Amino acid sequence: REGDAAKAAAAAAERRDALLVLGVKPDATPIAIKAAWRKLSRQHHPDRQPQSDAAALAAAAARFDAVQK
pLDDT tens-digit map of 38-66: 998 888 777 776 666 777 778 877 877 87
- What whole-number distance in Å separates Cα of residue 7 and Cα of residue 46? 34
pLDDT of residue 2: 62
pLDDT of residue 66: 78
C-beta of residue 59 within 8 angstroms of C-beta of residue 43: no
Percent of the chain at pLDDT exceeding 90: 7
Please say if the pLDDT value at position 32 is more than 90: yes
- What whole-number distance in Å separates Cα of residue 39 and Cα of residue 46? 14
Which carries the bigger pLDDT value, residue 2 or residue 7? 7
